[in-house]
Structure 1
C-alpha cells in the first residue's frame, strides 16, 4: 500500500502513480470542472470529496470513484493524470475522496477497518461509506447515468474490493488493483507468518504518526545498520514509538494468525461476486503481489455469472499506473509498453463496457504478460488448466534437475550457519528507507541476486544450460525438507532465471540472476498458523512454501537456479532461532546462531513444483 512521501514530495511513482505536477485549483486548459464537498455519512461524519465533471458534457455520465488515505486535494484534472487519462478522454464524472480520519475528512482512521455490525443502522465501515457516498452523488450531481465504478491501487484497491462486499445497487464495476488480502499470510505486514519489519514499522509511522503522511527520520542513509542496531523488536516501543502507533501495537498483541488477522482477511469478507470485478496484480509487486490473486481465487469459487476477471503483468507495485512499462529495473520487455497497453486496452475498455455499454463486452477470464517471451497471453482459467505440475529437484554439488535424487548420491544434504547478528540483506546495500529519497525499494524484486553468491549462509543449486525453452504458467511451490539445530527457523526460497554468461542482445545482462518467484516461511507455523510450536532440533521436516504465480519462459541458453537462506533483512525481521512465544517480546539473549540443513535424498527430495506448459 502506500505511496506518498509527504505533502511536498510527489506520490512516489506509485500506489496511485498520478505522475504529473501537483494540482492547482482549476486551470484554464483543464477539461474538467472541479468542486469540493463534504459528504455526510450515516453516522454524521463528513468525508472530504473532490468531484470533477467534464466542462463540455453532452450526455449523462457514470461516476468513477477512488477512495484513499493518501490525500486528494492536490490531484490535477483527470485528463492530466496518466493513470486515468484514457478514461478521462472518454468522459466520466470523477470522484476522489479522503477516507475517514485522513487528510481533510472527519472521523477516526482505522487500518483496514473491520466489517460493521449491520444490526446497527448507524454502524459504519468502508463499504457503508462508499454506499453513502454513491447515494449522495446520485441525488446531488446532475447529469449522471445512474451507474458507478470504483478503482484504485494498494490501500485504494482494498477500499474498492471492500465496496464490492456490500455494494450500492448503482455500483456496476470494481477494479481492485494490488489490494492486500491477508496481512498475516501474504501481503504488506507478514509473509507466511514472517514479519515484514522495515515495511511494517515505516508504514505504521507513515499513516499513524500524523493525519498526513510523514517519514521516520533514521538519521542515516543505510537503514540496514539502524535495524540491526535496533536489536530485539521490543526496542521499537521502548526507545522510539512509545506505544503511540496502533498498528505496531497490534503486531505485538497478535503475533499469530488469530481472529484479529482472520477477520481482516478478504477470505473472511468475500463470498461471491456481487458486481463485475477486475483484479490486477504485478508479478514483481514488492508490496501486494498476492492480494489480487487471493481475492480472485476466493470469488472465483462462486462466480456463477462470469463477473470475476484477473490481469497479471510484469510490474512493481502499481507500475501499470504511470509510464510506458517497457522495463522494470534492469529488465526490459522487448519494447512492449505494458503499462500503456493496460490503461488503454484493458482498464479503459473494461469500465467503458460496464458503465457505458461501449464495446463488445468480451473479456478474457485471465490476461497475463508472459515474461521471457514478452507477449500478452489470454487464458480461460487462472491458473491455466493446461499447466502440468513438474518437480525440479535439488542434488549434490549444487545441481538442479528434473530427475529425482538416486541412491548413488552419497551427499544427502547441504548446510550453512545462520547467524542473526549477520543477516543476509534482502537487496544490495545500502538499503535506503522504504519511501526515502533515492530508494530502490520499488525494483528490489528484479535486482541481480549475484550480490549474495559468495555468502556462506546462502545455498545455491542450478541446472545445466537449457537446451530448450521451459515455460511455467501458474502457481509455484517449494517443497523443502530441512532441519535446524535451533527450535525455530525461517526458510527463504528463490526461483531464479540465470542469463547466459555471454549475452549479445544486452551484454551488461550477461550472467544476471533474476528472481521469478520467491517467498519466506516461518518454521514455527509449519503445522498451524494459529497455534505455532517449537521445531524439534535436528529433525527433518517438510515445509511447503507458496511462491505464488508466475508466467515466464526460461529461454534456451539460460539456466534455472534456486537459492535457500534463513535471513532476508530488514524486510523480514530476524528470527531468534530459539523458540519464544512472541518474537515481538524476545530478549537479546534469545537470538542465537543455528546450523541449517537442506536435504536432497531419495527419502527427503527437496524440490520446486513448477506449473509447466508444453
Structure 2
C-alpha cells in the first residue's frame, strides 16, 4: 500500500516549518506531527495528511505557496508517534482529535481538508463520520470501502501478495522493513505452506495482524466494522474520490462513490461529491505509459486534481468550479477524458457474449449438444500473475520484480493447458465497454472447494491479448460473498458469478474481445488447494478437474456494459 507522492524537502524559502510537534489524543497518546505554514500572515485553511508510512519527506510545496497550511502526521504506533499500531482501529478517534487540534490552532482559520492514497485515504474515511465541522473537504484516493470484498480478500480468495507484504514488512514494527524483501527468495516464500506461517518464513516472527487476517477467511463482525462505506450517511463534506482502472480498488472506488451519493443527507451534498478514474494502478501515474500500453499525454491531464480540489474547496469555492460533472473517466482505447453525470452510465446496455465450443465467444446463445470444456487445475503449478488490476508497486521491492500491475500481454498465460480462452470475431466497429463487468459461469469441479478466475482482454490485430480487467470467486462463497460458505458437491454443476470489477475501454474496430477462464492467479491471490479445509492451516493439495459448460441450459457468458452501440 502506498502513500502520497513524495516531493522535495521544505527549504524554508517557500514556507515556515514547525517540526517535531506532539499532538495529544483523547487517551493521552501523542502523535508526531509536522506543520508547514505559508510565508504570509495567517490564519490559513489547512490540509491534513495522516500516514502510516513516515511523515518525513511528504512535504508538498504547492500548499504553503497557495495559501494553505500543510499538516503531516505519523499514525499511532508508526515511526515517531507513540502507541501501538493496529490497522484502522484508531483512525476514527485519532483522526477526529487531530482535526479538532488543527482547527483550533491560531494559524488555522478553522477549515481543514484531507488527502492521501490507500491507507492515507482510509484515515479520512474513518474520521469523516465523527469529525467536527472544521473538516470541509476530503480526497481519498485508491482505497477500499469494504476490505473483505476487495482488499485483503477478493471475493473469498486471500489477497496474498498485498496482505503478506504489507503486514509482514511494512507494518510489522514501528518502521518499514520493506527494503529487506529483495534479500528473500520471495517466490519460494509465497509458495510455502501453511499460509499462516509465511510471516515467520519472511523473518518477521509471528505477526499478529497477519495471522488475524489470514485466519478470518469468512466475513465476520470484525470485517463488517471496517466496511466504511456503510457510514456515508454521516459525511457532511464534499468528497473527491480518485481511482485507477488497473488498481485493486477500481470497483471499490465506484462503489464508494455510489454509496456517498445514495446516502448523502442532503441533495446539495449529493451534488457536491466527485469521482475521477484514470489509467492508473495504485497511485496517479507520473508517465502516460502503464504496463505495455502508452495512453498518450492526455492521460496526464488530471494529475493535479488533488491540488485543484483542495485549493477550490478550502478557499470557499464550489465543487462545480472544480469540475462541473460528478464523474470524470479516462476512456482507454480512445485515450481521452470524458465527463459523466451518473455512475454507471445509464445509457450503457448489457450485452451478453456467450462461450461456445472451440474457444469462440459470440452474441448468439449456445445450442443443445455443444461440448463442454475441461482443464486440470494443479495448485502446485498455478497460473502466474501477469499484470492485471492490483496494488503491488515499487514500494514492494522483491515482489514488484515479478508481480507488476497494469495492461500486459496474456499470451504466455493463455498458452497454459489450465487456461481456457474464448475469443470473438474481429469487431466490425469500435465497441466501448464502460461500467461493471460480470462473468456468469456454469461449471463443475471434482474438488470440494476451488477457485474460478475470469479475465477480460483486448486482442489486438497483431495477436497481443492485453488485460482489461479480472476477478475471482472462491467456490465456497458462490451464493454470497458475505454469507455462510458452503463446500461443493464434487461433479455437481453450479452457477458462479465472477465479479470482473469495472472498466472503460474501447475495443477498436478489427480487435477481438476475449474471456480467459482458469483457477489461479498466483501470487496475487492464494492458491486454492482444492481440499475444502481451512486455507490458513491447510498443507494438503489435490488436483481439481474443472468442467465449464456452454449449452442451451447452461449458457456461460460475460456481461459487458456497452455504450453507444
Which of the numbers 253, 256, 263 marks the counterpart of 2:218?
A: 256
Q: Shift of residue 139 of structure 1?
A: 2.6
Q: Does 1:495 align with 2:445?
A: no
Aligned equivalents of 2:398, 2:527: Cα separation in 1: 26
Aligned equivalents of 1:180, 1:518: Cα separation in 2: 17
Aligned in 2, Cα 1:135/1:178: closer, same or farther, shift over 3 Å? same
Q: Shift of residue 248 of structure 1?
A: 1.6
Aligned in 2, Cα 1:273/1:75: closer, same or farther, shift over 3 Å? closer
Residue 374 of structure 2: aligned partner: 415
Q: Does 1:515 align with 2:477?
A: no
Q: Shift of residue 244 of structure 1?
A: 2.5
Q: Does 1:450 align with 2:411?
A: yes
Residue 353 of structure 1: aligned partner: 312
Residues 432-470 of structure 1: CA deviation (Å, up to 9, x unaligned): 997115934674331211111221000001111111011
Residues 134-181 of structure 1: CA deviation (Å, up to 9, x unaligned): 222233342x33211011100001101112121211111011111222
Q: Shift of residue 514 of structure 1?
A: 1.3
Residue 16 of structure 1: aligned partner: 4
Residue 32 of structure 2: aligned partner: 48
SS in 2 for 1:342: coil
Residues 329-375 of structure 1: CA deviation (Å, up to 9, x unaligned): 2211132142xx2243x333322332102476353111101111111
Aligned in 2, Cα 1:435/1:239: closer, same or farther, shift over 3 Å? closer
Residue 58 of structure 2: aligned partner: 75
Q: Does 1:64 align with 2:34?
A: no
Q: Residue 33 of structure 1 contacts residue 54 of structure 1 at CA under 8 Å; is this kept in 2?
A: no
Residue 609 of structure 1: aligned partner: 559
Q: Residue 49 of structure 2 contacts residue 73 of structure 2 at CA under 8 Å; is this kept in 1?
A: yes
Q: Shift of residue 293 of structure 1?
A: 2.1
Aligned equivalents of 1:494, 1:111: Cα separation in 2: 31
Q: Does 1:168 align with 2:168?
A: no
Aligned equivalents of 1:433, 1:223: Cα separation in 2: 15
Q: Shift of residue 426 of structure 1?
A: 0.9
Aligned in 2, Cα 1:445/1:534: closer, same or farther, shift over 3 Å? same
Residue 440 of structure 2: aligned partner: 479
Aligned equivalents of 2:455, 2:55: Cα separation in 1: 38
Residue 136 of structure 1: aligned partner: 101
What are structure 2's unaligned runs of at least 5 residues?
none
Q: Residue 230 of structure 2 contacts residue 259 of structure 2 at CA under 8 Å; is this kept in 1?
A: no
Q: Does 1:561 align with 2:514?
A: yes
TM-score by length of 1: 0.85
Which of the numbers 144, 154, 173 marks the counterpart of 1:191?
A: 154
Q: Aligned ranges for residues 297-376 of structure 1 at < 5 Å?
A: 297-303=258-264, 304-305=267-268, 306-320=271-285, 323=286, 325-338=287-300, 341-344=301-304, 346-358=305-317, 361=321, 363-376=324-337
Aligned in 2, Cα 1:262/1:601: closer, same or farther, shift over 3 Å? same
Count of residue pairs the alignment pairs up: 553
Aligned in 2, Cα 1:44/1:253: closer, same or farther, shift over 3 Å? same
Aligned in 2, Cα 1:173/1:523: closer, same or farther, shift over 3 Å? same
Which of the numbers 285, 288, 291 marks the counterpart of 2:252?
A: 291
TM-score by length of 2: 0.92
Q: Aligned ranges for residues 545-584 of structure 1 at < 5 Å?
A: 545-580=498-533, 582-584=534-536
